Chains A and B, each alone.
Chain A
Amino acid sequence: MSFSSSLKAKLALGCVLAGAAILATASGEQTSTPAQTPVKTQAAAQPRQQVTVALAQAPAAAPAARPQAAARVVRPTAAQKAAVAARKYIRQIRDAYPQYSAVAVDMERGEVVMADENLFQMLVYDRTTNTPKNAAMSEPKRRIAGPKTFLELQCAIYIDPVNGDIYSLNNDTERHMTVWGRDQQGDTEPKWKLHTPMGSFGLAVDEVKNELLITGQTENVVAGFPKTAREEDPPAWVLWGDKTLLADPHGIALDTKKNIFFVANFGSTATPRELKPGEDYLRVATGRGNFVPGSGRFLPVSITVYDKTARGDTAPIRVITGPRTQLNWPTGLYVDSAREELYVANDGGNSILVFHTDANGNAAPIRALKGPKTQLFYPSSVFIDTKHDEMWVANFGNHRATVYPRTATGDMAPIRVIRSAPEDMPAPTLANVRIGYDTKREQILAAN
């Protein structure tokens, strides 16, 4: 399971955030604020064992107070309301720099395209860009961003090898895949877009059969759309059901040589509900929340392998899973069909794992790139530039896209780095964040 990585990414992140958020001493007391008295709750008056213990152990600030009956009631004046309304925030945690979440190389045109999940934009660089150590950052040659773009939490990028069109798949806060001409930039509308009703994450394209394969995280589904699909066009087929072992699926990669596809699964899943009379199977499978309540469960983290023709509730032909695989939040996938290699951006393991495309069960990777010299930090996307024999990685945790020889292994330093922020700039890695506040440690907890 992916638990270890989850804690690193979530709770450790909370600590990171807390470092930026330790608060100053309290603001001045309000004369109108009632005096505080110890709480006398119903539970405290008629304590259950747990409550009694809890109250005894609670930090000094924990037991809340009840206003005194005679406390002065405040009636805010218009001027007081206006003064409060005019206030600005006193602190902000925000990353002002791009965070790369997906990468693809236009091998014909010598460009690399990066999705930025922090500032909701797409960035295009020269393929050979290499940020000097003493430079603040590298600026992109083109940038697509703004309210007209429909770009938000992009998790997959694909470049059409024929015409250079750029496909960008949003995660589920903006349920569209957008397609861009290679020269587009600024706040502009995409050439076209496809409504993807699922909580989409991974994208693979079958150029022979003109088909888009998209994973749905929330729905545990793989949906196949015609490459020509636009706007509200439905999928042509889905892979959906308990037998599939799809479980919070993320990356997807197609092996056109063996006619199979791979899906990376984090491990959380639930059983689809039965269709009601007259319901459209494809719509239900790609719609939100069509599960049997209470059927949720945890499966081992895995990469599931399917025949390209698999449809409906079909079991994988192989499952890569187990401790030897080192899988830990496997996120982005890429298949080098010619060399029979499957590349895994192993987000929670801060590594790139390479498996033979015939790998099965508890198989060890044939290569693993990992270690402090690699500069890998929450790698979420991997791309193999077969023309230049290079491996590209988008790291969501450190403002870097890192480039290696295709066969890189061990603790190998990148041969080039595109950095989007000053060298030591921390990355809060916020994305669709929710927060809690740990009053004991005075830390903001962030669930992304």
Chain B
Amino acid sequence: MLGRTQHSIFYDEFHDEVVIPQPFAGAILTFPGGANGETPPLRIIQGPKAGLALNDVMTVDPVHNEYFVPRGQGGGMIHVFDRMAVGDVAPIRIIGGPKAGLGGIPSVDYEHNFLIVEGRDGMYIYDRTASGDIEPLRKITGGPKSGVKSIAGPMWIPGTRNFVATVRAFTAREKSPDEPLNWQRVEDAQSMIAVFTVDDDGDVAPRYLTGFNHFKEIRNLALDPKNKTVMAADKTQNDVTTWDFKEAWQNFAPAKAERYTEPQRRNLASPRPADPI
């Protein structure tokens, strides 16, 4: 059921399960933690009611027992399933739509009840139980004041109101059409790991940045709360690095600033640039 093309893997530590979206089959596969060898999935969500297609990424809310799955193919929406759902089941709610243009990796702050996900013009903060194509509570937009842009791949940090995300320097150049699809050089990418809070809004600066002069194409982040480290997978470097980032577990004051709007907004039909897989 798995193939050579899996773009997300999530460990649910509360239930000791590994959850993997299967984009080509429009499925969510849940395996026992520590699965190895010929182990079938415990549960599969798949079918017309589930409505998934090219669902590359997802996250798990282990406390409220929900899977948050960007539908993948257009629409800019996230399907929320009961964690224990099996087979062809409809989502219990859908967040987003053409207006919100949600996509990318979501993350859930299950302590303070927020959903963090990349939207049309920034990192959106929703109430965890939000439903429909509604305005987020807050938008962290990046911009000239903060000095960052392209905020993506959030990972909320349990025990805090913080999340880490990938960012690029605001002044980093954009690609021209005749260049390779992915950044090939560190100096062009100018990608970093940043820490924000779920209370931030607008063009606010990350509290800390780390990972300068290493990344080319960060694919996603993972957390080790015990050691307060952040791990990053980079496609072009083709590596997994671990960063001491204990500062990301600190307690920060919220920040609010005017929201920055990119001069060229994304196409409504394409909520985010196609994630090359």
Contacts and interface: CB of A to CB of B under 8 A. Distances in A.
B265 interface: no
Nearest to A12: B36
Given A66-B159, A445-B11, A447-B9, A147 B185 contact: yes
A55 interface: yes
B13 A62 contact: yes
Contacts of A74: 207, 247, 250-252
B160 A67 contact: yes
A400 interface: no
Contacts, number: 361
Which residue of B25, B160, B246 has the most chain A CB atoms within 10 A of its CB atom? Answer: B25
Nearest to A247: B24
Given A248-B24, A435-B231, A4 B37 contact: yes
A294 B51 contact: yes
A30 B249 contact: yes
Given A444-B222, A447-B20, A152 B182 contact: yes
Contact of B220 (A67, A93, A435): A435
B92 interface: no
A50 B182 CA distance: 42
By secondary structure, the B interface counts as loop
Interface in A78-95: 80-81, 84-95
B163 interface: no
A441 B34 contact: yes
Interface residues of A, number: 120
B212 A86 contact: yes
A6 B212 contact: no
A289 B54 contact: yes
Given A72-B251, A75-B253, A293 B158 contact: no
Contacts of A218: 5, 24, 54, 277
B52 A294 contact: yes
B40 interface: yes
Nearest to B228: A27
Contact of B18 (A4, A11, A174): A11
A52 to B, nearest CB: 11
Nearest to B222: A437
A268 interface: yes
A67 B222 contact: no
B241 A27 contact: no
Interface string B232-260: 01011111111111110111110000000
Interface string B18-32: 101010111100010
Contacts of A438: 11, 13, 18, 33-34
A289 B73 contact: yes
Interface in A420-448: 430-442, 444-448
A217 to B, nearest CB: 6
A72 B57 CA distance: 35
Interface of B: 1-11, 13-16, 18, 20, 22, 24-27, 31, 33-40, 46-54, 57, 62-65, 71-74, 83-84, 88, 110-113, 158-161, 180-182, 184-185, 192, 207-212, 214, 219-220, 222-229, 231, 233, 235-247, 249-253, 274, 276-277
13 contacts: A6-B1, A26-B226, A28-B246, A59-B16, A150-B180, A174-B182, A248-B24, A294-B88, A297-B46, A436-B222, A437-B223, A440-B11, A440-B33
